[in-house]
Structure 1
Amino acid sequence: MPADVSATHPDVKYSVPVALHVVDRPRLYDLLDLGAESPVTLVSASAGWGKTVLLASWLGARAVERPAWLTVGPADDTPDTFWRAVATSLAAVVGAPADALLRRVADDRSGTDLADRVADAVRHVVGPAVLVLDEVHQITSPEVWTGLHRWITAPPEGVRLVVLTRRDPPWPLHRLRLAGLLAEVRASDLAFVPPEARELFALVGVELTTDQLELLVRRTDGWAAGLRLAALPLRAPGADVASFLASFSGDDRTVTAYLQSEVLEPQSERVLRFLEKICILDLVCAELADAVTGDDDGAAMLAELSASNLFVQAVGEGGRWFRLPGFVTDVLRSRMVEPRARRDLYRRAAEWYRRRSLPEAAIRLALAGGLLPLAAELVGVHDVGLVLRGRGRELDTMLAAVPRDALLAHPELAAGLAGARMVYGRDEELADLIGAAEARLEALPAPRARRVRLVLDLIALADARLRGDLDGLAAACRRIPLDPGELAELGLAGWDLVRVLTLSNQGTAELWLGELDAAEVHLRAATEAEPAVGLVLPRVNALAQLALLECARGHLTLARTEARAVVARATATGSAPTIQVVSAYLALAWAHLDSGELSEVDPWLRKAEEVAAAAPEPHVALTMAVLRAHRRAENDPEAALLGLQTRTRALAPSVVPARLLDRSLLAQAELAVQLHDPVRGRSALAGLQAHDTPEAVVALAGMHLLEGDPDGAEQLLAGLGGGPSTVRTQVATDLLWALAAAARGDDEAALGSLDRALHTAAPHELRRPLTARADGLRRLLSRRIERGTGAAAFAVELMSRLSRQLDPAPDPARRTPTPLTPRETVILRYLSSTLGNSEIAAELSVSINTVKTHQQTVYRKLGVGGRREAVRRARELRLL
């Protein structure tokens, strides 16, 4: 099997082929022009009919604007690789805004809805563009064909599609014809007519009579390859045209035999030897030709053969790369009967690509040549880099073609295939592949065995992450070395990617297991250690987890800022719908919830749920359930508690760690407090695995308060020792101290503790721990505002929330006759504090005269003459 190296040379894969020494064919150009009336033009004919040359010359002759070209290869035979390649091709020609959308698809490694996203992006194309898909018969994936069919049946206006293939695609062609969606160019159209054949022969200096020309066209049915082959002997001096025409039939079988005996055999030994060696390659350049042949005349030979326009054809701009026509390589490869010589050619080609750090092409050539030991060594060195840079499906395609017994006999091949499949969630034969790799590790030299062991540890890491096994994920990460020197010694290409991936996942596991300080160390190291070229998703994952970590600590404003930056980056790189971004969505939902910005919670929860539906992780599901319950409790705490209990029971049998199950139980206890139900609160706390965490102690202290036992609450809070570790627990602790002191009648202690809670919560806009205790807090907060506080603006705004929460609809009879405007209401709340007018003006960023004007209006509407009387009257009217 020849190696497909076009993916290694994007300048070739996406370049319009060079059309030299070609016949101008206006009748076919007109046919292609007419095809613009349909969304797709199908050019279907077997090898040698000149499909590629026709399209290349048509684009030039008609000066077609914005032509995009994609030469399809075996590596494109999956939906994600195919549509990423299509997006790359189109992005280079369509212009804004479609180009940015297409580049996001091209960079997206999630493989999610890429066909639809390409179609949506193309609908933003302004003006006509043409996309040529060459060699489409290489595609076997039904999903790719289905995506192309959807494109045709719902065609975007901005791009016309031209498909070049040796076989008809698996589409309902008759229905597409009837619907006017399909234009076609067939072999009968591509066949040379006598005037075109005369021009073809004239290009090589051959003159034939009209009868001779028409006979030759009939013999070949106008087949371009047959005519070109026939032209070679006819241009020789003194050629016997009549004898030649008598023996030349022009059909495939005859042309093959003719190619063997009359075209190849007469070539010099030097040319023939060169052709027989380079025919293993789909693409060849001078340097590669020299490596394969062992000579140093590759450049001269390719130039000489290109001039004949038969044996090699220039591909792409610059004239550096050449391709042998298929009908020539088929014959040449059939002549390679010596297995050892054949293997040696493939080995030389593979080694050439390896030396140039092009491992994918090297592996393909090694496998094509049956060089499994070499392929195994290459895979062992390069599989991690290929997989982590998004080439897992291509590696899967290559290795899946190896006979099973041979594959399992080579640990590096088995582990490489397992790793390729694990990274995109394909679990087919994973256990067998991993078992085979582990069973044969001892047969490998020590350095190679260590590389395979690392790959197996990375597979265990990915498996644990997919299953939500955070303890298993942490354990797998600990087995992988993080020291750059130790990793580099393995001789593994992409070792720097391994470090980033491991740091990101280790920090992720620690975060969800509640080890916040250790998590921060590893996550920040992951963001700083990213290589210049390589992974996007592990860095996105680390940044998203850091945003969630800040939210867990209570740093809500910082969490929102960091999470929004992650979402913007993920959107720009096409990774927004991946599990690596979920934590950013959760952080935004959580931060808005705890800030009291309830309308902003649901959109972020929906985004998290959309991703989790495709890639479910139990710890994410439980966290979403907790956040959803707190959101629902704003209107119906009873339903919120019951729903959370049901969801937690459903997730408990999974691998959710005890720390996360405890988080759900603590949330249930908090909801029970809102319902004034200490029985259910105690029941939830009894199920905790860890009773000595600050969160558990604070929750139990809150239960004592609910039961009318402030002394018991204070005794528990005093036992916290070194003090709370996060803003959240600090605010909750100070608040409970305040409420307990107030319950004992110690107003001074209560006001002091409340002031500490306000000072801690205000910079982070952390409101929910305070509003959750609205019943006991409002009177105390009102007195705190009257006595003064350094967090006056936060306290006044919080008081407004508590008033709306506890008195959503005041008695109309007690309302002020002339309602206050929103600005006047704000001024009234500040009047209840100890701030002077200049301080109020500074808080509101207005002038002192504006404050005085609103102040006088408030007095007038309330029917009072001063500040103290205004506050008293506002309380009577329940405006404060």
Structure 2
Amino acid sequence: MSQPLLTTKLHIPHLRSDLVSRPHLIHRLRDGLDRQMTLLSAPAGFGKTTLLSEWAACCGRPVAWLSVDKDDNDLARFLAYVIASLQLVEEQLGAGVLSAFQSARPPPLKELLTELVNQISAVSERFILVLDDVQHLSAEPVFEVLAFLLENPPDTMHLAIATRTDPPLPVARLRGRGQLVELRQADLRFTTEEASEFLNRIMGLELAPDDVAALAARTEGWIAGLQLAAVSLQGRRRTQGMGDVSRFLRDLTGSHRFILDFLVEEVLQQQSLAIQEFLLKTSILDRLSGPLCDAVLAMGDERARRSFDRIEPPMPEATSALPPSSSQRILHRLETDNLFVVPIDDTRHWYRYHHLFAELLRQRLQQTRPDLVSILHRRASTWYAQRGQAAAAIDHALSAGDFERAADLIEQAAETTMMRSEIATFRRWVGALPDDMLRVRPRLCVYDAWSLLLSGRPLEVAEARLQDAVEADLAGSTSGEVAAHRALVAGYRGDTQQCTEFSQQALDLLPRESMFLRSLVAGILGYSCLHSGDVVVARQALEEAARISQRTGNLMNEVLAVSHVADLSVLQGRLDEARVLYEQALELATDARGQRQPIAGIVLQGLGNLQLQWNDLRTAAQHYTEGIELIQRWGEVGTLQGHVGLARIRQAQGDLGGACEAIYKAHRIAAGFDVMDMDDMFVEAWQARLWVAQGNLDAAVRWAEEQALAVDGGSKAAGVARQSASLLARAIRDTGLAWVYLAQRRPDSVLKVLEPLRRETEAAGWIWFLIHILVLESLAFHVKRDVDQALVSLERALSLAEPGGFVRVFVDEGEPIVRLLRRAVSRGIAVEYAHKVLAALVEERMRTTAEPPGAKPLSQRELEVLRLIVIGLSNGEIAEELVIAISTVKTHVNNIYRKLHVSDRKQAIARTRDLKLL
């Protein structure tokens, strides 16, 4: 879901026409553009924002600007705003990254940032990213983003940061490399000349040079202090004349804090009571507009409105189209009088106080009228809530200490907040509520449980909060949300049956308008049913997830859902339909510039599977390779299909080294990440098939034994899968086992392991697996010399394969299937399609025998030599052990090195272990 953004945070602050220009500092900033970062670090009131705004106006490069606030410590919010600012430089920049981060299953942050850096590097014009007020940031994940940008700097972007305190970034390292431009307090303070220009030309004080120098010295060139002093002197001149300047300067001593307190007191005392009241009461606001200030000041009250309506300043030319309210007129008056208000939009409808001035006003309000603080925050909360600005309404309710109101507002905003992945924001809100209040609100407890789960807290902690919801919800009003949570937990635990049950329960109970949860649960249910074999429910659920994701703008979830529907079509044997769906998903995952987003990698791997079924190895390999490259921008977990597919293709091409390398990568990924058991089984089963094809039957048999199968008779074959395993996991496992048994020439074991699987896949309508099973059964019957039954199975396999164009499932079986296909043709069985498959088999045989693109499998004797190398025997000892000449040993060793792509024994041993050849 796209996030509503405060566009004023992205505006470069407006420059006053009566600005004190600072060309020497602008020159330093301009000279540093070829370095990685500019850092303006100084206390409040030293003109950092103004200087950056002036630089932005004359630097000659596009500028992306973000004014940071405390809410940007939520990583999702921070990324949304950074990307929004970047998109002012180039439209669509980073859109896919943000969509991926806000999805139900976001990739690792590092991989998302890699993709963002790659996109920034592709921008045609160099630009500057300015982050102002970075002192508000404290969250470690946010600084991880900034650190990543600095450690992997795109050539097209210069980062500029303004802050009161140095951020936890590699500043010293950048300084040491000469990649940092720094302006600090000593650089930013006004010189005597600049102070004179400000005090006399802009503020019109006509001070003598000695007085200017004294004032600049007393304030140490501190711009905020000079501005406060100037406003105070203006007030004195109106009431006392300028003869009292020396006394004023004598009183202006001490620390910045003392000077501030003194000057604020001076400035406030010189304002009318109405202006003083306005300044103090509106100081609770981060942003100021006429209508908002009217609400906070209760302008609906006739007496209050009359007191402010007496102020009638002239309106500036550039104003909002809205009719001016009493507060709007005051804001314009304050800007005209240089009273520390800053316009933050182009129409001068929205303002903010200078941060330092606002802090001082808030302190004074708390000291003088603490009873008003909660009332004012409550009014602001009401105004924001009435305009649908939930975050601001919640923050003001919490600041008011009105926890009941805050809890109500948090409940209303919970779903959309979670939908935008602003988990940290939600956790901050909930953390501010008293625990006893939270525990009696079941819906809030449910969302808190979700936030705990999605933020990586232990399942037990989330389950405890969910139990609070169950105990508090006597009426069962949150049953749908509770079921949705339990479906997700079951999915995390790999419990397909419970995941399906809870998902269906949640969809039955959740209201139609609960878009986020319905989309998430529909996706969970669809994926679970796809694995369990309920194709009808799977398709309905995934299509529903795609529809909801489209309506809510969740691109990544929509692409995933459509791609999973295509996966289902492949299982059902509807390959042409699957291609249309994959192409639809691929179009969704391609941005306006024609660039494919990383999520397109999932789709391309699906297309690779499709082309592999059609035996178009070249196109399949291209899809797999591009899909892997795209997904790797996020991480490697999603690349398993691609690596396994490439292993199959390399094996088919006779490239043993390439096949081993690809399957090894798949193994490493599955082992390195805590993925589902089915993913491990997927890799292991194809590894076993490759071992069989490469003549390493011992390794394949060991794998079969690990699946709790009896080697001698297969008596446990029918019950090989655990009860909790999905149909898909069992299908992958059992077809792999059947291959091992065929290689051992144990046809009865093949038939026994496949018979129950055939019934289940046929009932599920899984044509792809059914074809595969029938081919394996046909080969098993052929080994048993039951040619008639073998041809019955083969005939059915061909009839099921022809509508979709399945070819590879036959070609993978090699010479044994050739003999059966020729018999089928001789008996008039599926003659046309059998000829097509035979032609593909002949073409593959010619390709692999004429010019093998890679190494051949190790022979049995080479495997024996390799085993002795691994245990440490010398060439002479190997010759003695095998009773062969030492020259023959050397020939075998050289062949082994060539086939394993290594150059010595140490490398050969490491390669053997990596590829599990022994």
**TM exceeds 0.5?**
yes
Change (3 A) 1:415 1:342: farther
How far the C-alpha of 1:43 sits from its partner, in A, is 0.4
CA displacement 1:673-707 (0-9 Å, x = unmatched): 5315327835972xx9xx756446x9xxxxxxxxx
Change (3 A) 1:275 1:642: farther
Instruction: Give the aligned partner of residue 681 of structure 1.
Output: 749
Give 3-state SS (helix, strand or coil) of 2:511's partner.
Answer: helix
Q: Does 1:434 align with 2:466?
A: yes
CA distance in 2, matches of 1:775, 1:112: 48
CA displacement 1:596-645 (0-9 Å, x = unmatched): 45563665687433886556233343344445545665445736744754
Q: Contact between 2:750 and 2:780, CA under 8 Å: does it hold in 1?
A: no
CA displacement 1:765-810 (0-9 Å, x = unmatched): 2124434665564345336557878773x43331134446789888
Q: Contact between 2:64 and 2:129, CA under 8 Å: does it hold in 1?
A: yes
How far the C-alpha of 1:259 sits from its partner, in A, is 4.0
How far the C-alpha of 1:32 sits from its partner, in A, is 1.7
Aligned residues: 757
Higher relative contact order (CA 8 A, sep 6+): 2
Give 3-state SS (helix, strand or coil) of 1:507's partner.
Answer: helix
Change (3 A) 1:174 1:635: closer
One-letter amino acid matched to 1:433: R
Identity of aligned residues (%): 26
Instruction: Give the aligned partner of residue 901 of structure 2.
Output: none
Instruction: Give the aligned partner of residue 3 of structure 1.
Output: none
Instruction: Give the aligned partner of residue 298 of structure 1.
Output: 327
CA distance in 2, matches of 1:734, 1:728: 10
Q: Contact between 1:618 and 1:654, CA under 8 Å: does it hold in 2?
A: no
CA distance in 2, matches of 1:65, 1:501: 42
Q: Does 1:458 align with 2:487?
A: no
How far the C-alpha of 1:171 sits from its partner, in A, is 4.0
Give 3-state SS (helix, strand or coil) of 2:552's partner.
Answer: coil
CA distance in 1, matches of 2:122, 2:10: 21
Change (3 A) 1:107 1:741: closer
Q: Contact between 2:748 and 2:780, CA under 8 Å: does it hold in 1?
A: no
Q: Contact between 2:685 and 2:733, CA under 8 Å: does it hold in 1?
A: no
Match of 1:254 among 239, 252, 258: 258
Match of 1:158 among 153, 156, 172: 156
What does 1:347-426 correspond to in 2, within 5 Å?
A: 347-400=378-431, 411-426=442-457
Change (3 A) 1:263 1:562: same
What does 1:602-681 correspond to in 2, within 5 Å?
A: 603=625, 607-609=638-640, 616-630=675-689, 633-636=692-695, 638=697, 641-642=700-701, 645=704, 656-678=724-746, 681=749
Give 3-state SS (helix, strand or coil) of 1:125's partner.
Answer: coil
One-letter amino acid matched to 2:453: M
One-letter amino acid matched to 1:305: L
One-letter amino acid matched to 1:474: T
Q: Contact between 1:762 and 1:791, CA under 8 Å: does it hold in 2?
A: no
Match of 1:344 among 337, 358, 375: 375
What does 1:694-733 correspond to in 2, within 5 Å?
A: 694-695=758-759, 726=767, 728-729=769-770
Change (3 A) 1:406 1:737: closer
CA distance in 1, matches of 2:723, 2:777: 34
CA distance in 2, matches of 1:26, 1:291: 43
Instruction: Give the aligned partner of residue 835 of structure 2.
Output: 796
CA distance in 2, matches of 1:210, 1:587: 78
Name the stretch that deviates more: 184-193 or 537-546.
Answer: 537-546
How far the C-alpha of 1:67 sits from its partner, in A, is 0.9
RMSD across aligned positions (CA):
4.0
CA distance in 2, matches of 1:676, 1:808: 27
Instruction: Give the aligned partner of residue 320 of structure 2.
Output: none
One-letter amino acid matched to 1:470: T
Q: Contact between 1:8 and 1:358, CA under 8 Å: does it hold in 2?
A: no
CA distance in 1, matches of 2:224, 2:842: 87
Name the stretch that deviates more: 72-81 or 47-56.
Answer: 72-81
Q: Does 1:487 align with 2:511?
A: yes
CA distance in 2, matches of 1:582, 1:159: 27
Change (3 A) 1:339 1:464: farther
Give 3-state SS (helix, strand or coil) of 2:38's partner.
Answer: strand
Q: Does 1:764 align with 2:804?
A: yes
Give 3-state SS (helix, strand or coil) of 1:450's partner.
Answer: coil
Match of 1:782 among 781, 800, 822: 822
Name the stretch that deviates more: 136-145 or 638-647.
Answer: 638-647
Change (3 A) 1:181 1:737: closer
CA distance in 1, matches of 2:96, 2:211: 57
Instruction: Give the aligned partner of residue 572 of structure 2.
Output: 553
Change (3 A) 1:149 1:517: closer
CA distance in 2, matches of 1:754, 1:572: 45
CA distance in 1, matches of 2:211, 2:516: 66
Q: Contact between 1:758 and 1:791, CA under 8 Å: does it hold in 2?
A: no
Q: Contact between 2:44 and 2:355, CA under 8 Å: does it hold in 1?
A: yes
Give 3-state SS (helix, strand or coil) of 1:235's partner.
Answer: helix
CA distance in 2, matches of 1:563, 1:271: 64
Name the stretch that deviates more: 176-185 or 777-786.
Answer: 777-786
Change (3 A) 1:37 1:632: same
Match of 1:526 among 509, 526, 545: 545
Structure 2 unpaired stretches of 5+: 300-324, 629-635, 641-665, 710-718, 852-918
Q: Contact between 1:512 and 1:619, CA under 8 Å: does it hold in 2?
A: no
Q: Does 1:39 align with 2:36?
A: yes
Name the stretch that deviates more: 254-263 or 226-235.
Answer: 254-263
Change (3 A) 1:390 1:119: same
Name the stretch that deviates more: 734-743 or 177-186.
Answer: 734-743
One-letter amino acid matched to 1:434: L
Q: Contact between 1:468 and 1:655, CA under 8 Å: does it hold in 2?
A: no
One-letter amino acid matched to 1:517: V
Instruction: Give the aligned partner of residue 332 of structure 1.
Output: 361
Instruction: Give the aligned partner of residue 815 of structure 1.
Output: none
Change (3 A) 1:187 1:344: same
Change (3 A) 1:507 1:575: farther
What does 1:315-330 correspond to in 2, within 5 Å?
A: 315-330=344-359
Give 3-state SS (helix, strand or coil) of 1:163's partner.
Answer: strand
What does 1:75-86 correspond to in 2, within 5 Å?
A: 75-77=71-73, 81-86=77-82
Change (3 A) 1:149 1:694: closer
CA displacement 1:375-398 (0-9 Å, x = unmatched): 211221221221123222332344
Q: Contact between 1:14 and 1:68, CA under 8 Å: does it hold in 2?
A: yes
CA distance in 2, matches of 1:55, 1:800: 70
Change (3 A) 1:615 1:403: farther
How far the C-alpha of 1:568 sits from its partner, in A, is 5.4
Match of 1:12 among 1, 8, 21: 8
How far the C-alpha of 1:593 sits from its partner, in A, is 4.8
Give 3-state SS (helix, strand or coil) of 1:281's partner.
Answer: coil
Name the stretch that deviates more: 194-203 or 734-743.
Answer: 734-743
Change (3 A) 1:759 1:136: same
How far the C-alpha of 1:204 sits from its partner, in A, is 2.7
Instruction: Give the aligned partner of residue 135 of structure 2.
Output: 137
Change (3 A) 1:219 1:454: farther
Q: Does 1:191 align with 2:189?
A: yes
How far the C-alpha of 1:132 sits from its partner, in A, is 0.9
One-letter amino acid matched to 2:491: R
Instruction: Give the aligned partner of residue 230 of structure 1.
Output: 229
Change (3 A) 1:778 1:358: same
Instruction: Give the aligned partner of residue 862 of structure 2.
Output: none
CA distance in 2, matches of 1:325, 1:655: 66
Name the stretch that deviates more: 528-537 or 635-644.
Answer: 635-644
CA displacement 1:267-316 (0-9 Å, x = unmatched): 22322222222211211222222222221522212222222232321113
Q: Contact between 1:732 and 1:769, CA under 8 Å: does it hold in 2?
A: no
Give 3-state SS (helix, strand or coil) of 2:477's partner.
Answer: helix
